[in-house]
Amino acid sequence: SQQGEEDPQALSIQEGENATMNCSYKTSINNLQWYRQNSGRGLVHLILIRSNEREKHSGRLRVTLDTSKKSSSLLITASRAADTASYFCATDGQGAQKLVFGQGTRLTINP
Partner 1 sequence: DTAVSQTPKYLVTQMGNDKSIKCEQNLGHDTMYWYKQDSKKFLKIMFSYNNKELIINETVPNRFSPKSPDKAHLNLHINSLELGDSAVYFCASSQDPGQFYEQYFGPGTRLTVT
Peptide bond before 111: cis, by omega within 30 degrees of 0? no
Which stretch, 19-27, 41-49, 53-61, 67-75, contacts partner 1 (CB under 8 A)? 41-49
Q: Smallest distance, Å, CB 1 to partner 1?
A: 10
Tell which residue, 83, 51, 65, has the closest CA to residue 22. Answer: 65
Residue 81 sits in the site that holds partner 1 (CB under 8 A): no
Give CA 40 to chain center in angstroms: 19
| Residues binding partner 1 (CB under 8 A) | 2, 30-31, 33, 35, 37, 40-45, 48, 50, 86, 88, 92, 96-101, 103-104, 106
